[in-house]
Structure 1
C-alpha cells in the first residue's frame, strides 16, 4: 500500500515475524570451528591420492611380476641355448666349460632335446633327484593366467627344490632346451624386483600426490576457503555491503557458486534493510499511536454533537462520520497488536459484501460525481463468511492503490474507473477489484505482495498489498494479480468458506 496504509508493524518484532536474526546475533551457529590440517579437504585429498596410486600399483604388480618371471626364465633358456648351439657338435665337454656354463646360467643341468634324442650339455656334480623338482614350466605353452598363478606360488611358498624349465631353442637348432634351476634363485630375483617396484611406486605416489594435491588445492580448496571466509565475514555484519563477496572471472562451478553467493548475500542485505525499515516504521507508529487515539476520541465527541443538528444533510452524514471514526479508532488499537507480531483473532460471520464495498467507496470519496468513477457490480445482498473489519481493510487497501494509480495520471482524457465484482457461493467468495489505470509493470509483479516492494508513487510505503495478502491468508484465502488483456490492473481475492477449509463452525 502507499502512504495511506491502514496498519504497520511495531519495532523490535521484525525477527519474530520474518525469521531473520537481528544484527549481532549469530543464529545459534556460533563461530566456525577451526579445520585441522589432516581432517580438512586438503589433507583428505592428499591421503586419498596416495592410497589410490598405491592401489593402482598393487593391481598391476601381480601381472608385472609374472612378466618379470617369464622374461627371467627366457633369458636363462637363451643363454643355455646359445651354449648348446656351440657345443652340440662336441663329443665331450670339459668339466671347466660345464662349470662356467652352469655358473653363467645358474642352472644345475642343461640338456638339448632334438626329437627322440636327448643330449646332456652340462650338469653339476651334485645329483638332482626327481622328487626335488617341484615344478615343470614349459615356456612355449605358458599362458597369462598360469604364469600369474605360478608366480604367486613361487613368491609366497617357493624357495626350496628345483624348477625344470623347457623351451624352444633360439638359435635355429630345431630342438628344445631343457634346464634345471634352483627355485630359490628365481624367488630371490622376484623379491628383488618386488622391492624395486615398491620403491618406484612410492616415488610415483609421492610425485603424483604432490601434483594432484597442489592442483586441487589451487583449483578447489582455496576457492572454497574463500567462500567460507566470505560467509563468516558476512555473518558477522550482514548489513555491510563491503562484506559481500566479489565473484571471480571463473566460468566453472566454483565461479557459479561465487556468483550465486554474491547474489544471495546482496538479496539478504536488502531484505535486512527492508526489515529494519519495517521496525523503524513500527516504532514511529507506536509512538504516535497514543496521541492519535486521543485526537480521534476528541473527533468522536465533536461528531456526536453533529447528530443534534437538525440539518438533513448533517443528519445523513453524521452516522457515516461516526462509523468512520470508530473504524479509525479500531485501527489505531490494532496497530500495537500488529506490531507485537499478532493480528486480532478473526471474528468470522456472514456479512453483506455489497455493503462493505459501498462503505469502501464512501471512505475513498467515490460515492458521488468525481474524478474517479466507482462501479460497484457486487450483487445486492451478496453474502460472505468473513471478518467484516478485516475484509474492509483488504478491499480498502486494494481500492486505495487503484484510486491512487488512477489519479496519478493527469491526462484529462483518461478514463478513471474502479470496478468491484464478486461471485459468492457455498464454497466461498471470489472478489475482483479492477481499474483502468496504467497497470503493474512486469518487473514488479514477482515482489508485488512483499513489504516495500509494491510502492509505485513517491511517499508510498509498499505495505498495503502485503497487509492485504496477510489478512487474506488469515482467512485461508489468497490474492493474486490476474493476467488479462487490456489496460489497468485486476486483483482477485478468494475467501473460502469455513466448511471448505475444514474450520470449526464458529470462532
Structure 2
C-alpha cells in the first residue's frame, strides 16, 4: 500500500487493521525514521483505498479513500464479510471472491496482482490484494486490499489515442502527396518533360523521407517508454558531428552566417552511440532553426570543473524563447512551441536518448533571449573496456 513512495510492510498493514478496530482515524506507528523519530501512518491519509479483513473474513478497516472509490459509507461495511463489503466482479461477470477464495485457497499464495474489476453499477476499479499469514504456509490472518481509481489508466489511454491521432495526421499529408504524384506519373508519363518528372519524383522522395522519420520516431518512443532503448557506445567526435549538421542546414539554403560554433579545447573523450547523438543534435538544431530567430549558437565544452566529468553541448537562438510557464512541459509528448509544424515528439525523444546515455538535459533562456538547450553526456566506455 503506497504511502508517498513507500509500501506498507506486513507489520504496518496489521497495525492498520488493529487500529481500525478502535476507530477509523487512529494513527498507526510505523518503523522508526532515521534519527530516532517515529513516523505515523493513518489509513485515512493513504492516497489509495485500503480495506482489511480479519481471519474470519470480516472487514475491520475501510479508509476514507476506499469509501470514496466505492461510494460506500464506512459504517455500512465495517464488520461485514469481505465479499459483501466489496462485491467485485471480473469483466466476464464472475464473482471475484468466489474465484480467488483467499481463505481456503492454496496455502502458498501471497496475494493477487492488480487487475481491473467491476463494482455494482459497472464502476471500474483497480484491485490488488495481499494475504498475510503467521507462517509462510499457515492460515490467512489478514487480507489487505488496495483499491485505485482508473483515472491514471484513462489518462494513459487518452495519451495513446492522441499519439494515434497525431501519427494519422502527420502520415496523411505525405502519403496523399506520394499517392497523387505516383498516380499522375503512371497515368500521364509521356505528357511530362524530364524536368517535371524529376520535380515530382523529388517531391515523392522527400515525402517518403518524412514517413520514414515519423516511423523511426514511433519506434524510439516505444523503446523509451518500455526502457528498451539500446545504446551502442563507441568513440564520437562531437565537433565533427556538429560540423556535419551545420553543413546539412547550409546545403538546404540557410546562410552559414546564421550559425556560430564554439568548440572548447581539451574535450574529454566521448563514448556514445553516434547515430543517436546525431539524432539529438539534429532535433535541437532543427528546433532552433524552425522555431527560433537570429544566430544559432552551438557551444561544446567540458562539463563541470574537471575534464573527466563529461561533455556539455549547448544550442541557443535569439528568438522569443520559451515562456516560463511552459518550460516544465518542453520534454513531454506533443509539446509544440509554435505553430510552425512538427509532431511535438522530437524533444521527448531527445530527452530519452540523453538519459539512456546517463546524461541530463535542461532548457532555459539563452544570452540572446531565445531558447537554450544544454545536454551533458558523462564520460563512459563500453563494458568490455572497463
TM normalised by structure 2 equals: 0.46
Q: Quick one: higher RCO (CA 8 Å, sep 6+), 1 or 2?
A: 1
Larger Rg: 1
Q: Which has the higher strand share?
A: 2
TM normalised by structure 1 equals: 0.36
Q: Which has the higher helix share?
A: 1
